[in-house]
Structure 1
Amino acid sequence: MTPPDSRTPVRFGVLGCADIAWRRTLPALCANPDATPVAIASRTPQKAQRFADRFGCAAVHGYDALLARPDIDAVYVPLPAMLLAPWVTRALEAGKHVFAEKPLSASRAESEALVRLARERGLVLRENAMFLHHSQHARVADLVADGAIGELRGFRSAFTIPPKPDGDIRYQPEVGGGALLDVAVYPLRAALYFLGPELTVVGATLRRRQGAVLSGSVLLTTPSGIPAQLSFGMEHSYRTDYEILGSTGRLNLDRVFTPPASWQPVVRVERQDHREEIVLPADDQFARVIDDFVGAVVRDAGTGSELDASVRLVGLIDDMARQAVYADR
């Protein structure tokens, strides 16, 4: 596929009318001067029309009809976790660049196949790991590298949310994939970011209801024995934070995965004789992740090593599911 001219916006199609698309991703896309929505598809015409009216584009009935359009350069796929892989595959086969929700698929094998297909076709494939594009995490990594808490000794993180209404797709393991694919991906991806790609699962506990994972905890380790202790779930009060432990201190942050664009992160650094709070600038992680994807399309960058961590992520989820001790409600 010939990349769009850098002077013209990247033309987007959207497969599905997800809440995240309505609230965050499409507003960020519309605000980007190098991107424009062309069409939005749904199996329900009324849903597509509602989105189209708000975002100034065409409503399309059915995903295949959208993929057949010649006026679309890239496709955003905000579908439930278990439906992502087949539609990302179809979009790539249709010659479209793809920006997909996370995780990229429900298994390592599926994700590897998607990355291989994107590379064979010379297309850009990205996963919407938006929180990693917030500047706060790079600042934290710099603090750790500069010795603010001594040598790295451990990582802890939690992402928990209140229960969803009965009937929510997250409670349908064959569609939404449960808390493993919807919530656990955040602290897991943060652990990979700070501890590196060689994490392995030591053990896990998972709570299920009618086959859907509701919550859990996992212990991982690096080859040198640095542990990552992670908690996640959708039957709790809201919590989203991480803590990095060092030989001489620790640091922690709140609101690390879903901060509003106006949120100013506060890094709390504690050592035996020192307490410090570092206020960081606000940042819009959705605007940044759209910038990254659109820039790759404009540059005809293709798919390189950007998705290695995405593949590793679902590999860890595979390992957790296989090794976990389950408690059924």
Structure 2
Amino acid sequence: MTKLRIGILGASDIAFRRFLPALQKNSFFEYTCVAIANFEERNVTKFGDVQYFVSEKSIEKAENFKDTFNGTIYNSYEELLSSDNIDAVYIPLPPALHYHWAKKALENGKHVLLEKPSTTNLEDTKNLLKIAKQKKLAIHENYAFCYHGQVQKIREIIASGEIGEVRQIRTAFGFPYRGSSDFRYDQSLGGGALLDCGGYPVKLSTMLLGNESQITTASLNMARGHNVDLFGSATLQNHEGITSHISFGMDNFYKCELEIWGSNGYLLAPRIFTAPANLKVTLFLNNGQEKVLEVPEDDQFLGSLNHFSNCITDEATRLNTYSEIEIQSQHVHDIFIKSQNGVFNR
């Protein structure tokens, strides 16, 4: 089988550490190139010295990509996207840049794997999906945790009735302050806790409650110095009245967990979102008898790549994925809207 050629926009750390090692284990795609932004494309401060520094740093990182994973280097995003040498593109840029470059990729006939969130607003997400549908191209939002074996194991435990009927879900994802230079604290780059760590518990809650679930309450806490939300919470509810309480933050002690409380027991997954490929994940189940369950090592980035390839080859998977991306964007939009009456500044 001829492999599909995939390129990367931006020599990002996550592309180097997680994406490309997973790609090497995937039989569908072949890595061909990475692009660094030219002067006009670079979305940074206008001061010349900083501009030059960022450019030099990008070149250095791209050279490291080439030395480690081979492939070629393009000195422009536009040049890569218009090239006949790639069939698909991975976009790990800051969120505010997703819509612009994903749109150009789709218009150039490329399948798109986007780092989360798909875009920074519902309208842009819908526009991308409209273009993808018209051109019959795949677009996939890289919430890689969905494809880790522990998620399937959790579904099996729920279905088995080991914890009885699900009464409530609680899930949280947050990490300590990363410093003001991180793009997450820059509103113009699509920063903010909800768009970053908040999307994870929203996505997981939707998977467990069902696509018809709705946002019922939401609260965001803003930082005056950065003009972005630093932490927040929300509640999702499905048609059966089952709720999921989510918490998220990027000014918090580290937490990355899921708890499902049932009529006869509970299940705890303490590393639900960020399990590295070489980690055996541990789940804790208590239904009157405490059980420790081990889930084998699993590369969730590889799982996400496999799903992306299925989006390309299978129309039903592609259409379902469009729907899931829109639902996710709708939920995030609803949290923004519902939190407007309860935004707290710190």
TM-score, normalised to structure 2, is: 0.89
Which residue of 1 is the match for residue 99 of structure 2? 85
> Greater shift after overlay, 187-196 or 39-48?
39-48
1:136-215 correspondence to structure 2 within 5 Å? 136-209=150-223, 210-215=226-231
Bigger RCO (CA 8 Å, 6+ sep): 1
CA distance in 2, matches of 1:168, 1:318: 23
> Gapped runs of 5+ residues in structure 1?
1-6
Q: Aligned Cα RMSD in Å?
A: 1.7
Q: Give the corresponding residue for 1:276.
A: 291
What is aligned with 1:318? 333
The one-letter amino acid paired with 2:227 is G
The aligned runs of 1:165-314 (5 Å cut-off) are: 165-209=179-223, 210-271=226-287, 273-297=288-312, 303-314=318-329
For the residues of structure 2 that align with 1:307 and 1:33, how far apart are their CA atoms?
A: 24
Residues 310 and 317, structure 2, Cα contact 8 Å, conserved in 1:
no
**Alpha-carbon offset, residue 118 of structure 1:** 0.9
Aligned runs of 1:76-155 on 2, under 5 Å?
76-155=90-169
Could you give the per-residue CA deviations for residues 33-78 of structure 1, whole angstroms, max 9, x where no partner exists? 3322211111136143332332201111111011111110111111
> Is the helix fraction higher in 1 or 2?
2
SS at match of 1:31: coil
Q: What is the letter of the counterpart of residue 76 of structure 2?
A: G
Q: Choose the corresponding residue for 2:5, options 11, 35, 39.
A: 11
CA distance in 1, matches of 2:289, 2:252: 33
Contact 2:312 2:318 in 1 (8 A): no
Letter in 1 for 2:15: A
Q: Give the superposition deviation at 1:188.
A: 0.7
Q: Which residue is 1:20 aligned to?
A: 14
**Percent sequence identity over aligned pairs:** 34
Aligned partners of 1:236, 1:297: CA distance in 2, in Å? 38
CA contact (8 A) 2:174 2:255 kept: yes
Q: Tell me the TM-score normalized by structure 1.
A: 0.93
Q: Is there any run of 5+ residues in structure 2 with no aligned partner, and where?
A: 38-54
Q: Residue type matched to 1:231 in 2?
A: S
User: Deviation digits for residues 93-136 of structure 1, max 9, x if unmatched?
Assistant: 00011111111112222222211211110111111111000111
| CA–CA separation in structure 1 for the residues paired with 2:21 and 2:281 | 22
Query: 1:258 aligns to what SS in structure 2?
Result: coil
Letter in 1 for 2:268: N
1:300–1:318 distance in 2 versus 1, CA, 3 Å: closer
For the residue of structure 2 that corresponds to 1:261, the secondary structure is: coil
